[in-house]
Chain A
């Protein structure tokens, strides 16, 4: 027993041992490993990872992109100070504070962040031992004191600049009163430091007082730096800004015109609203200064004032002063600045003040334009751009004037500055819009200068010019057909340039040059840059689709299929599909090649879908089509939904042609489709399933009806948009290929943008509603070079076709504002008809014949129309509504001779109509042609009417286009409007 007990105790470990063995040891082992790993990571982090940009990105370590290190590191700072000051007093290798300290022995105020090196130097330089002891004490107390600075500031490379700032402050103070020679140089160094801190984002605003104190100096460099500083901080510290007013005002009266100008600029740049009162006086005298520099600055100052406080600027009557300067100043830069300033001021004022609107119109009046043109050579290139931009808005009264202006500007086309050339081209294009033949000549003329600009500047500049050339090529490709070689890509061009060039090559291809262009494009298809290779293949396809003789191109495309580069094959497949839709006669050749492509080599959904479409469409020509489809159906889940949809349809088509072979595939596909998680795939599978259940032959009629070859593929951009982009020539719209309203907010459109806006708008709307556009002003529709009607028709069809599905069953509900009349008409016609696929074409056909202007019959006798006398509509919503609504009524009416006589300026009619509760939102033109945009609002409803009214006083006719949110009352409104108009001039 005993021995058993001992043997037990010796052979089996105690519970403590168990714990040690089973719990503690593993824990120890695990924790050891973890510590090891952690240490490893820590090491890696500290040594490597922190410096990896990506890691910094992820962990947000990178605070500011600014990496410019101010000299906060003690050692570098120390050495630096040695460098800069080693010529002055002994011991001046240390920052002045330190030096001060050691000389006055007041060591306790040593800053905690001075380096040990500095201290050791101090140590050796301090002769009396008592001082050494003090130093020791202060060093010790520093070491003991909590490192306040570092705790606030965990990353040592991100200085708060606190110490430096107070350091700078004391140095500035020291220098402020000093009149010693060479003090300006010291000040310059200090100021530079302050500004360098400022630019890297350290807040040095606390030095404001000292900086201002120091700037009492005749040294202009110092003054400039001080102004820069003040300008930067005044806005955030309005109270401090007050400090500067005094000395700035004094400087504004300085003898040196440079100082006057600079002070005035800084004064007006303070951007502090409550200081504007101090600004008016200096600005007023600045505008009258006899030095041109001061005047240029003052003009801009007036504009700045307008932005800080518009009322102050207007009360001081600065616009009038500017206008006077603009017309009389001898210095062109003053004139240019006045022009910019006035454009900005009047543009924002014109919506509220009639006078400003009139002044704005005055800028594009004949005398003023001629005045500017006569002085054009005096302006520098940027001023010329400004003037030319304005001239482009001017509408000459006769063609003689047109030619005079063009002859005058002709040599500007040879300017080396692309901006000047483009601005000139804009003038030329706008002037000749109504003269088709000259317009074409202009194209020929500007070709060479544009090409020179494209090839002479930096890639960025040539991109800007090339985008404009691109626009012109797209508008009139046939004028550029012989220049195609200029659009060949160079291997080292950036991809954004190459893309533009590819599009241009596509556009200019015609019978004579197609072969060469396609050969060139095929070279790019082997490009190492995949994106460009793809684009080039697409370009080949597009050329094929727009050509009559596609023989050679089809061969090329088929060669692509055999190139065995996956992306080439993929792009080519998509193209072959489109090609077959347009030219079914090529099916035989294509299918032979397509049949050889293994579906396994095609991965991209688009390409796979195209391949499957061809398999379905030409199932009878490809022997193994059913089997390929079957294997694809078996791997249902591998493909994208887009591909699955196509697969379903293709198998259906194949089934109708070769039922026995496809039956199995169909079964698999339908089963898989019905259990698909993708809604569309599921629905289509279900639809096919039920169709087949119902009747196989009608299913075939639905799924695989006889097809017509597609003649024109829909254009992605409407002509309305294209015209608007063209009207915004020489602006960002060209580069983005979007009209400006799509990318700018309303407040930031350029000067004059608004009135243009509406003009362009009308053009667009008119051309969209082909039927409604009865009278199209030749001056306005710029469709000289683009035959639009054909494309428009197809587009309209597409648009309406997609619209019809919107469910309007109840024709009595008033139309929402956003819905046009065309939908209403359809709704009325359809009633509760069941929309089926066959019906859609019928509706389209009907639509084409429908007169869109047909008024819908009013449901009940409406109450007499009353208008709201205080209707309000802002310009933005006017434009939006105008764009959304169709033209309800387009009619010509008689103005009456008295009316025509009374209409000398737009304002006259404007007042008259206001008396009839019809408000004007924009007006323009000169005798005899005027144009107005009116709006009116119903008395008790928000519904509005919009009117575009063009009046010709010589024929006494007025052309009205009325749009109404409530269509039913538009005729009553017309009657009201006409009667109001006819009363004009009688009173």
Chain B
């Protein structure tokens, strides 16, 4: 039972506030914000997503800088509430096209309408955009997409390739295009977040891929869709279906756990550790030919989440060298090399490295002819930041190229001990469009045809992002 739901801006302003049961006091938003803001004095620790103040449980998720909060007095399932908050954010985004403070403020009546249908008296009714469409009547006031901040997740596609319509992902599911006709199209995005940790000697300590096949459908009439994945896809060292049964020999109950598709680990095959699917996905023929069939509901949703620890070739390698030059000086040499095909280009890469606390100054030296690279020494956090913009990549780092940065550090006090213990690790953030490391592919996307002339746009897009890409020194 959820007592209240509210959305706060980054400054703590109430954008939306809905009280469902009236058993939590009115000032809860303020109590919540104060608590989150001043969780720990040193500011190092963030408030956890769930906490309790005076018997009231506060749940919150952060979405594009907004705080979506729910309160309750009963002992509920935390993952249910957090999932719900995330879902509400997604529904609002589906309706408004873009989710930000401005769009919510402009459409708050619509948002209230949605909230009334999503939750009734604290009980969740539905979060499916599809179902909600029949109950919700306000039309969204669409915000100008041009005013998007560049760091919106949608923007990663805009720069990627020319043929992709960047604005499509920010289109509302209900609003019609200015032309009056809705464009029939469907987006399938394979988004992979990779986490790699390199040891100081450069070999891979841990690596993991967390992938999602995300779908956003603007098809009318809900046709059935078949999505074929790699045929050599294997699931699970432990993730197969299990059967719980009884062998009644001697009254001994046992539990049979057999994996149907234990790794056919031939070379080149894709082996997922585990995966889960959206409710609408039917897996009837998944075991045979690796196709998922589904009737996509409106709005954005993950068709499939998967996790993979199979070894893969990391897209970047990082070499770090620290040389002490006297007691008050040191030199850091950072070298990153791209190890993906040369027809692919990465978007902005940012290399970060914490330097010793007593670093006073850092001067940088880029290789000759470097374009679009930025270097910075963040005085307050003692961090080195090296940005490689796309401009330079078109010319230099598509696959196979290499870049070097030399940084000369000056210390305010004498070095003692090992400098490598005081600095690092080097971390990388990047986005590589049209590339996925897992080699998981959508072989084809079949839409049940209504007529011969029916040929909607299909977009299948791949993106690789860094989640935690760290090289120790």
Q: Within 8 Å of chain B (Cβ to Cβ): is A451?
A: yes
Pick from B174-182, B415-423, B444-452 the stretch touching chain A. B415-423
Residues of A within 8 A of B396 (CB): none
Residues of A within 8 A of B15 (CB): 68
Question: Counting CB contacts under 8 A, is B314 at the interface?
Answer: no
B61 within 8 A of A: yes
CB contacts under 8 Å to A, within B249-303, are 253-255, 257, 273-279, 302
Q: Judging by beta carbons under 8 Å apart, are A750 and B274 in contact?
A: no
- Chain B residues lying within 8 Å of A682, measured Cβ to Cβ, are none
Checking B78, B246, B278 against A731 with a beta-carbon cut-off of 8 angstroms, the contacting residue is B78
Q: Pick the contact of B135: A192, A293, A416, A467 (CB < 8 A).
A: A293
Total count of chain B residues near the partner, CB < 8 A? 106
| Contact in complex: A452, B417 (CB < 8 Å) | no
B274 and A449 contacting across the interface, CB-CB below 8 Å: yes
Given A416-B278, A735-B50, A744-B55: A382 touches B78 (CB 8 Å cut-off): no
Min CB distance B403 to A, Å, is: 22
CB neighbours of A419 from chain B (8 A):
77, 79-80, 83-84
- Taking a contact as CB atoms under 8 Å apart, the answer to whether A196 and B82 are in contact is no
- Distance between Cα atoms of A768 and B269 in the complex (Å): 54
B5 to chain A, nearest CB (A): 13
Interface residues of B in 145-169 (CB under 8 A from A): none
Q: How far is the CA of A52 from the CA of B52 in the complex (A)?
A: 30
Contacts of A195-222 to chain B: CB distance below 8 A:
195-196, 199-200, 220-221
Instruction: Give the distance in Å from the alpha carbon of A337 to the alpha carbon of B80 in the complex.
Output: 17
Contacts of A64 in B (CB 8 A): 14
Cβ of A717 under 8 Å from chain B: no
Residue B223 at the chain A interface, CB threshold 8 Å: no
Q: Which chain A positions have C-beta within 8 A of B425?
A: 491, 523
B184 adjacent to chain A (CB < 8 Å): no
Q: Cα distance A650–B421 when bound, in Å?
A: 34
Query: Is B305's CB under 8 angstroms from A456's CB?
Result: yes
Q: A65-B14, A456-B305 are in contact. Are A271 and B276 (CB under 8 A)?
A: no
Taking CB atoms and an 8 Å cut-off, the chain A residues in 305-352 that contact chain B are 333, 336-337, 340, 344
Residues of A within 8 A of B126 (CB): 333, 380, 382
Contact pattern, A 509-525, Cβ under 8 Å of B = 1, otherwise 0: 00000000000100100
> Of A361-369, A433-441, A661-669, A941-949, which stretch is located at the interface?
A433-441
Query: B306 at interface (Cβ–Cβ under 8 A)?
Result: yes
Query: Which residues on the B side are within 8 Å of A467 (C-beta)?
Result: 78
Judging by beta carbons under 8 Å apart, are A399 and B246 in contact? yes
B242: CB under 8 A from chain A?
yes
Q: Which of A522-553 contact B (CB under 8 A)?
A: 523, 526, 528-531
Assess whether A381 is interfacial by the CB under 8 Å rule. Answer: yes
Tell me if A885 counts as interface (CB < 8 A to partner B): no
> Which residue of chain B has the shortest Cβ distance to A266 in the bound complex?
B116
Contact A448 B243 (CB under 8 A): no
Decide: A531 and B253 in contact? CB cutoff 8 A: no
Contacts of B307 in A (CB 8 A): 448, 451-452, 455-456
Whether a CB of chain A sits under 8 angstroms from the CB of B212 is yes
Q: Please, how many angstroms separate the alpha-carbon atoms of A293 and B277 in the complex? A: 28
Is the pair A415, B77 in contact by a Cβ cutoff of 8 Å? no
Q: Does B427 contact A (CB under 8 A)?
A: yes
Any chain A CB within 8 A of the CB of B430?
A: no
Chain A residues with Cβ below 8 Å from B253 are 399, 435, 437-438
Q: Quick check: A455 and B74 within 8 Å, CB to CB?
A: no
By a CB distance below 8 angstroms, the chain A residues around B123 are: 300, 336-337, 340
- A416 near B46: Cβ-Cβ < 8 Å: no
Whether B359 is near chain A, meaning CB under 8 Å from some CB there, is no
CA distance A224 to B117 in the complex (A): 11
Task: Judge whether B257 and A732 touch: CB under 8 Å.
Answer: no
- Given A221-B138, A448-B236, verify A731-B77 contact (CB < 8 Å): yes
Q: Which residues of B contact A220 (CB under 8 A)?
A: 137
Q: Which residue of A lies closest to B40 (CB)?
A: A531
Query: From B248, which residue of chain A is reached at the shortest CB distance?
Result: A400
- Whether B400 is near chain A, meaning CB under 8 Å from some CB there, is no
A303-B121, A749-B75 known; A495+B46 contact, CB < 8 A: yes
Query: How far, in angstroms, from A196 to B73 measured CA to CA in the complex?
Result: 28
CB distance from A317 to the nearest CB of B (A): 20
Cα separation A281 to B49 with both chains bound (whole Å)? 43
List A contacts of B205 (CB < 8 A).
Answer: 520
- For residue B377, give the distance in angstroms from its CB to the closest CB of chain A: 15
Contacting pair A410 B244 (CB below 8 A): yes
A385, chain B: closest CB distance, angstroms: 6
Name the residue on B nearest A383 (C-beta).
B124
Most B CB within 10 A of own CB, among A67, A196, A465, A526: A526
Stretch at the interface among B92-100, B104-112, B225-233, B386-394: B104-112
What B residues does A410 contact at CB under 8 A? 241-244
Chain B residue contacts of A574, Cβ below 8 A: none
Chain A residues within an 8 Å CB radius of B77: 385, 389, 419, 422-423, 730-732
**Cross-chain contact of A333 among B52, B125, B243, B275 (Cβ < 8 A):** B125
Q: How far is the CA of A289 from the CA of B467 in the complex (A)?
A: 52
Task: Return the chain B residue nearest A733 by Cβ.
Answer: B75
Which positions 400-441 of chain A face chain B at CB distance < 8 Å? Answer: 400, 402-403, 406-407, 410-411, 413-419, 421-423, 435, 437-438, 441
Answer yes or no: B367 CB below 8 A from chain A CBs.
no
Confirm or deny: A825 has a beta carbon within 8 angstroms of a beta carbon on chain B: no
If over half of A's interface residues share one DSSP class (helix, strand or loop), that class is named, otherwise mixed; here it is helix
**B17 on interface, CB distance cutoff 8 Å:** yes
A418 adjacent to B83 (CB under 8 Å): yes
Contact B120 A297 (CB under 8 A): yes
Q: Would you call B17 and A199 a contact (CB within 8 A)? A: yes
Q: How far is the CA of A342 from the CA of B61 in the complex (A)?
A: 31
The answer to whether B45 touches A496, judged by C-beta atoms less than 8 angstroms apart, is yes
Q: What chain A residues lie within 8 Å of B8 (beta carbons)?
A: 65
Are A744 and B108 also in contact (CB < 8 A) when A220-B137, A441-B255, A494-B46 are? Answer: no
Contact present for B83 and A732 (CB under 8 Å) = no
Cβ of B75 and Cβ of A728 under 8 Å apart?
yes
Contacts of A66 in B (CB 8 A): 13-14
Asked if B62 lies at the interface with its beta carbon under 8 angstroms from chain A, I say yes
In this complex, the member of A235, A411, A441, A530 whose beta carbon has the largest number of chain B beta carbons within 10 angstroms is A441
**Also in contact, A421 and B276, with CB within 8 A (given A297-B120, A465-B79, A493-B468):** yes
Q: A65-B33, A271-B22, A441-B255 given as contacts; is B421 within 8 A of A731 (CB)?
A: no
Is B127 an interface residue, CB under 8 A from the partner?
Answer: yes
| The one of B46, B86, B208, B246 that contacts A458, using a Cβ cutoff of 8 Å | B86
The distance in angstroms between the C-alpha atoms of A344 and B23, with both chains bound, is: 15
Indicate if B402 sits at the interface (CB-CB under 8 A).
no
Using CB atoms, name the residue of chain A closest to B126.
A380
Q: Which residues of B contact A753 (CB under 8 A)?
A: 75
* B197 CB within 8 Å of chain A: yes
Q: Give Cα A399 to B244, complex, Å.
A: 10
The 8 A CB mask of B185-209 against A (1 = contact, 0 = none) is 0000000000101000000011010
Which of B12, B13, B55, B302 interacts with A743 by CB under 8 Å? Answer: B55
List B contacts of A493 (CB < 8 A): 468
Q: Are B14 and A740 in contact (CB under 8 A)?
A: no
Does A17 sit at the interface, judged by CB under 8 A?
no
**B172 part of interface (Cβ distance < 8 Å):** no
**Which A residues from 467 to 521 make CB contacts under 8 A with B?**
467-468, 485, 488, 490-496, 520
With an 8 A cutoff between CB atoms, is A296 at the interface?
yes
Which residues of B are interface residues toward A (Cβ below 8 A)?
A: 1, 8, 11-17, 22-23, 29-30, 33, 40, 42, 44-50, 52, 55, 57, 60-63, 73-80, 82-86, 105, 108-109, 112-113, 116, 120-121, 123-128, 135, 137-138, 195, 197, 205-206, 208, 210, 212, 236, 238-239, 241-246, 253-255, 257, 273-279, 302, 304-307, 309, 354, 381, 416-417, 421-422, 424-425, 427, 467-468, 470, 472
14 A-B interface contacts by CB (under 8 A)? A228-B116, A300-B120, A337-B125, A380-B126, A389-B77, A399-B253, A419-B79, A421-B276, A451-B307, A456-B212, A464-B78, A485-B206, A495-B44, A743-B52
Pairs A-B, 7 closest by C-beta atoms: A490-B468, A419-B80, A460-B49, A448-B274, A464-B79, A456-B305, A748-B73
